[in-house]
Structure 1
Amino acid sequence: MKKIILSAVAVFAFGFTNAQGVKFGVKAALNVSSLTGDVDNASSLVGFQVGGFAEIKLTEKFAVQPELMYSAQGADSDGDKFNLDYINIPVMAKFYVAKSFSLEAGPQIGFLMSAKIEGEDVKDFVSSTDFSANLGAGFDFTENLSAGLRYNFGLTNVYDVEGFDDSIKNGVFSVSLGYKF
């Protein structure tokens, strides 16, 4: 059964990539992140993202772009740095409003890799997955070089502590540069 499913996926993927315009790429971004909701004195923390993507053109004006990104996020609260590192998997729907300009939106799931406050491990008190929604825009300078702006609205409570009912979520603004092969 496993071989049949893998074969079907391979045939589907080959046929899909063969029939459609698919470009693979890498990108890096500067993050300005914070925690939103029931949090006092939180200010932004500067981090980064790095990873890869596949842009799958379905029509001239519409594409789907799954990504796999490492993301350094968090916030600064009363001088204490709260660092959250995730592997994020956004799946963006891109609508080209002009030849080189696109608007994008889509869901994202993030898997927590580490959580530290001033270097002390607090991973046991943070949700292991982070669901969020992304909105953004992109501009293609050339066939290969692009830039983007994106805001990530966290939907999942960051803290996973019994009896802690405050709603605290990730919020990440990013500016990226990408290169398509």
Structure 2
Amino acid sequence: MKKIFLSLTLIAGTFAFAQSTSTSTDASTPLTSSSKIKFGLKAGLNVSNLSNMDMNSKAGFYGGAFVNIPVSKDFSVQPEVLYSAAGAKEKGGSNAKLNLEYLSVPVMFQYKAIPNLYVEAGPQFNFLIDARLKKSASTGALKNATQSFDFGIGLGAGYYFTKNIGINLRYNAGLSDIVKTKYQYGYDREGSVKNGVFQVGVNYKF
């Protein structure tokens, strides 16, 4: 919980600094709309899976806020705060699902390849909110068996159809073993269990 509050404090500080910088810059130097700091919202679909687990991918939701901070004509930094639903589901027609919920904090470094198209990469810090195994009508808590922090790398691209509305594709590759050593999630496995999440969604800049 302390890590989550610390993360939120850091991002809130970034937002405040960005707003302050934007305000002071607007007062002193005329900028084009493409070079101003922009705040926005984003949401979309997660398709997630877990490595070294004999399970299928499952669909989930992500959504949250971001601030885009230009550092040069073609480069910008984009910190985000997102709710992200990950996990996987059992094979063979079973409706059992391993549901993982995270507060995710990506910090993406974006390069504008052409005026409306960008590519991006950067670290992602995931803080566990909840972990549950859902089977039929029953649900079992797995939070004690799951690491509270997961570190990953995001790679993606996006395209803005207008100055405000765009789409984003991203793959988040987890680098941490999310299962605590003394737990196995009730499944046979060899090696580390890591998150892998493909995202597709919509961005809106204010």
TM (norm. structure 2) is 0.78
What CA deviation, in whole Å up to 9, does each residue of 1:84-122 have, x standing for no partner?
Answer: 000000000000000000000000001100000012111
Give the counterpart letter for 1:73 in structure 2.
Answer: A
TM (norm. structure 1) is 0.88
What CA deviation, in whole Å up to 9, does each residue of 1:13-59 have, x standing for no partner?
Answer: 565334362100001010000001x22x2110000101000011111
Q: Residue 122 in 1 paired to residue 142 in 2?
A: yes
**Are the equivalent residues in 2 in contact too, given 1:107–1:131 (CA < 8 A)?**
yes
Q: 1:12 to 1:107 in 2, by over 3 A?
A: same
**Are the equivalent residues in 2 in contact too, given 1:153–1:171 (CA < 8 A)?**
yes
The 5 A counterparts of 1:78-117 are 78=91, 79=94, 80-117=96-133
Alignment RMSD = 2.1
Residue aligning to 1:4: none
Larger relative helix fraction = 2
Residue aligning to 1:6: none
Task: Give structure 1 stretches of 5+ with no counterpart.
Answer: 1-8
The one of 2, 23, 44 equivalent to 2:38 is 23
Residue aligning to 2:86: 73
Distance (whole Å) between structure 2 residues aligned to residue 49 and residue 87 of structure 1:
10
**Are the equivalent residues in 2 in contact too, given 1:149–1:176 (CA < 8 A)?**
yes
The one of 138, 145, 152 equivalent to 1:132 is 152
Partner-residue secondary structure (3-state), 1:162: coil
Distance (whole Å) between structure 1 residues aligned to residue 90 and residue 172 of structure 2:
20
Distance (whole Å) between structure 1 residues aligned to residue 20 and residue 89 of structure 2:
47
Q: 1:105 to 1:162 in 2, by over 3 A?
A: same
Give the counterpart letter for 1:113 in structure 2.
Answer: I
Partner-residue secondary structure (3-state), 2:59: strand
Aligned length: 172
**Are the equivalent residues in 2 in contact too, given 1:58–1:64 (CA < 8 A)?**
yes
**Are the equivalent residues in 2 in contact too, given 1:21–1:58 (CA < 8 A)?**
no
Q: 1:72 to 1:26 in 2, by over 3 A?
A: same
Q: Residue 170 in 1 paired to residue 195 in 2?
A: yes
